[in-house]
Amino acid sequence: MKAQDNMPLPKSCDTFVVMPNLTKHGKVIFGKNSDRPQNEVQEVVCIGRGTRDTKLKCTYISIDESPKIVNSVILSKPAWMWGAEMGSNDKNVVIGNEAVWTNNNEGNGDARQKRLLGMDLVRLGLERGDTALEALEVIITLLEKYGQGGPCSEFDDSLIYHNSFLIADPLEAWVLETSGTLWAAEKIEKGYRNISNGLTITTNINKHSENLHEKAKDMGLWDGQSEFNFKKCFSAGGDIVRQQEGVKLLKEHTAKATFDVHNMFAILRDKESGICRACDDSFPTQGSQPLREHHLYKLHSNFVLGGNTKNTVRLLQDEENRFLKDIAFFYQDFKNNRLPLDDFKDLMKKAVQVEINLLSRR
């Protein structure tokens, strides 16, 4: 079965995780670039924990609300939709999603139908999951109940796709890849793992949807005799080059097992690999533009269009490094019970103001 002709090839986003055995401080490091249509602004929002009504309106459909108190979340989200491209919760769970191209595009796999967006599932997993495994279970339960689909752009109804997810907490990570309501999941406990815009799970499957093998056989995608390979059965293309380039960069940056946030930034800023997409691209990296088109957004736009950016970029990165040191000092003091959390609450505001000041002086 071939993909539908009106379903454009996804061409955005990269997500990766590096596990504690390869990081400098023995912590999980998670990174994602969100590449989205031109002129779409992403915003960073913080939503507190609490209870809600019995019905929850997501981007296109309403679903049953969780009976428990939902977690506090920080989300990076396209401003027009309910869901998010990436985010974290107050239980130390992080999730990012990717568009994927599959050959299961009829019935429950028809992504033209307005159901849950993959970005809705990211937010729901964070709000309802206290661990990576719990978030995974939340997503697959909702996927099987409500399905996935609907336009993934505010102005382009043809931008439709299935989704893959990278879900992590301080102890483990999961890759979840879907085709309609069918899915497979791979557990990651060490090393590194990345996903881009194509299926990557092959034969190493730790969890999968009920009767997955039988359904693949019935669809004529598997012969029932050879080793079952999720990617081989369900993939209909995608950007494998960028995913492979991500693997190369992760291998390079983890070679000494001292991977830290600076290495994460270096990968996410890598333009040669295509992981960081320029502002004039049809699908630019938008995750670094987290606010609506107000003063800071306009400053960024003028900055990029104005040229001669090297000196200002250097100054911004110097300030970035200073704030990273502040965060490291805060973490150590907070861990040793020497610093109240309130002392940290204005750090983001201060960082944004520094950026505004530097860009305004150009």
- Which domains does the chain possess? 14-291 (3.60.60.10), 304-360 (no CATH)
- Residue 288: the pLDDT is 43
Whether the CA torsion 208, 84, 126, 297 is positive or negative: it is positive
**The predicted structure's pLDDT at residue 228:** 98
Residue 7 is predicted with a pLDDT of 46
Contact 69, 51 (CB under 8 A): yes
Catalytic residue (one of 13, 152, 233, 276): 13
For residue range 101-142, what is the model confidence (pLDDT) as tens digits?
Answer: 899 999 999 999 999 999 999 999 999 999 999 999 999 999
Alpha helices (H) in the chain, listed in sequence order? 118-128, 132-146, 212-218, 230-234, 240-253, 261-268, 295-306, 310-335, 347-360
Q: Give the number of other Cβ atoms within 10 Å of residue 268's Cβ.
A: 18
The C-alpha atoms of residue 119 and residue 253 are separated, in whole angstroms, by 29
Q: Which residue has the tokens 């990576």?
A: 132
pLDDT of residue 22: 98
CB count in 10 Å sphere of residue 310: 8
Q: Based on the residue annotation, tell me whether 233 is a catalytic residue of this protein.
A: no
How many Å apart are CA 129 and CA 290, to the nearest integer? 24
CA distance 34 to 11: 11
Q: Give the H or E element holding residue 165.
A: strand 162-168
The whole-angstrom separation of Cα 243 and Cα 99 is: 13
Regions of the chain where pLDDT drops below 70: 1-12, 287-294, 297, 308, 334-335, 337-345, 362
CA distance 336 to 238: 47
- Structure token digits, residue 167: 């879900």
